[in-house]
Structure 1
Amino acid sequence: MRNRIVLQGIRQTFEDGGSERVILNELDLEVAEGELVAIMGPSGSGKSTFLSIAGALLEPQQGQVLLDGKSITGKESKDIAEIRLRNIGFIFQSANLIPYLKVEEQLILVAKLAGVDKSEASKRATVLLDTLALSARRTAYPDKLSGGERQRVAIARALMNDPAVLLADEPTASLDADRGHDVVSLIEKQAKEQRKSAVMVTHDERILSLCDRVLYLENGKLNAK
């Protein structure tokens, strides 16, 4: 079983009042295909920094990130943008849908940015919307969707370009227990069925039973408890 995302020896610091503060300290992580890993930790522990580095939004000061066995560290910004578009699917706390685009159009836009043929993009969108029980909402605008529906659209959008990795940032924070459970169940199911590596930063202990592993970010390192 391959590890679709690997972080090796990640170190990140910043200046705080004239002194150096270590946020990530030789952090290591391997996530296998079909695996959903939850990352927990108190505010200020470095979860956002960790997720930014895993998602190629921030270059680590030390160490490297590998996607499907290939390092993405040290690449040109244009190449990094392409990697984010094609290889990493992001799911955010607030869904971040474009308010003036209908549900299906949200997905088609992502495929268009990646240069996917219009006909192929339409077919892919249809399959995803059907899989995530959104077919009846394909022409709805975001303001007409429930919180759970918006997050399901966000999951579909994240899957649109068939990424190797799914990264979720507090995906249940604005949802009640039942909708939160449904959203994480979908992430877990899609990771397993499509053999993707999924990493979720969360404070929500209600959904930890759905995860294959739960790791805690403390003193700059990830540890199991």
Structure 2
Amino acid sequence: MRNRLEIQEITRTFEDGGIERKILDKLNLEVAEGELVAVMGPSGSGKSTFLSIAGALLEPTSGDVLLDGGSIIGKNKQELSELRLRKIGFIFQSANLIPYLKVEEQLVLVAKLAGMNKTEAAKRAKELLDKMGLSHRLTAYPQKLSGGERQRVAIARALMNDPAVLFADEPTASLDASRGFDVVSMIAKQVKHQQKSGVIVTHDDRVLSLCDRVLFLEGGKLVQK
């Protein structure tokens, strides 16, 4: 199996009061297609920095990040924006839905930004929302959805442009145990069925059984226990 995500020797430092501090220290990670990896660690361990670099939101001090075998390092802002739109799907702690758009419109907008034609976008949106059990919610606004439904819309939106990699940042934080498990179960299912590489940053040990590997961020590196 190919690795759709590869992180090679990533280091990230910053200056604090004239002192150089190292957040990530030659961190390495490979995630194969169809694999969901959980990353855990205490607050301040560098999880947000790790996710920002892997998701092309932050430049590392050194090292490389490869998506589908291509490096994302050294690209300009426009290239990174295009890459995030087409190669990366983000699912955040809060669903971050646009309040004035209906459920179907949330997905169609993302497809439109990527240049997908209107008919194809509408068809794909309906298919994804059907997989998420949301066919009856196509015309609902976010405020009419439950927390679990909003997160399912966010998953569908993240999958809309068929990304290589899915990143989920604490996707169960605002959900109860049952809904949280359902949401991560859906993420795991889509990663496997669509052969994505998936990374979920979480504190929720109730969902770890749904992941293929669990890694801990310690001393700037990812370790398996």
Describe the SS at the equivalent of 1:112: helix
Partner of 1:148: 148
Q: Deviations over 1:42-63 (max 9, x none)?
A: 0000000000000000111100
Partner of 1:29: 29
CA distance in 2, matches of 1:137, 1:156: 13
Describe the SS at the equivalent of 1:178: helix
CA distance in 2, matches of 1:115, 1:68: 21
Which consecutive residues of structure 1, in runs of 5 or more, have no partner in the other structure?
none
Partner of 2:129: 129
Describe the SS at the equivalent of 1:28: strand
CA distance in 2, matches of 1:200, 1:18: 34
- Counting only pairs closer than 5 Å after superposition, residues 60-99 of structure 1 correspond to structure 2 as 60-99=60-99
> Which one-letter code corresponds to 2:77 in the other structure?
S
Partner of 1:208: 208
Note if 1:45 corresponds to 2:45: yes
> Which one-letter code corresponds to 1:195 in the other structure?
Q
Q: Deviations over 1:139-184 (max 9, x none)?
A: 0000000000000000000000000000000000000000000000
Note if 1:177 corresponds to 2:177: yes
CA distance in 2, matches of 1:17, 1:44: 18
Runs of 4+ in 1 over 3 A off after TM superposition: none
Q: CA deviation at 1:17?
A: 2.2
Partner of 2:54: 54
> Which one-letter code corresponds to 2:16 in the other structure?
D
> Which one-letter code corresponds to 2:144 in the other structure?
K
CA distance in 1, matches of 2:151, 2:222: 27
CA distance in 2, matches of 1:83, 1:5: 13
CA distance in 1, matches of 2:149, 2:176: 13
CA distance in 2, matches of 1:183, 1:97: 16
Q: CA deviation at 1:40?
A: 0.3
CA distance in 1, matches of 2:97, 2:64: 31
Could you state the TM-score of these two structures normalised by the residue count of structure 1? 0.99
Partner of 1:218: 218
> Which one-letter code corresponds to 1:40 in the other structure?
M
Describe the SS at the equivalent of 2:75: coil
Partner of 2:114: 114
CA distance in 2, matches of 1:74, 1:195: 27
CA distance in 1, matches of 2:204, 2:21: 27
Partner of 2:100: 100
Which consecutive residues of structure 2, in runs of 5 or more, have no partner in the other structure?
none
Percent identity between the two aligned chains: 76
Describe the SS at the equivalent of 2:9: strand
CA distance in 2, matches of 1:184, 1:57: 23
Describe the SS at the equivalent of 2:148: helix
Could you state the TM-score of these two structures normalised by the residue count of structure 2? 0.99
CA distance in 2, matches of 1:191, 1:161: 14
Q: Kindly report the root-mean-square deviation, in angstroms, between the aligned alpha carbons of the 2 structures.
A: 0.5
CA distance in 2, matches of 1:78, 1:89: 17
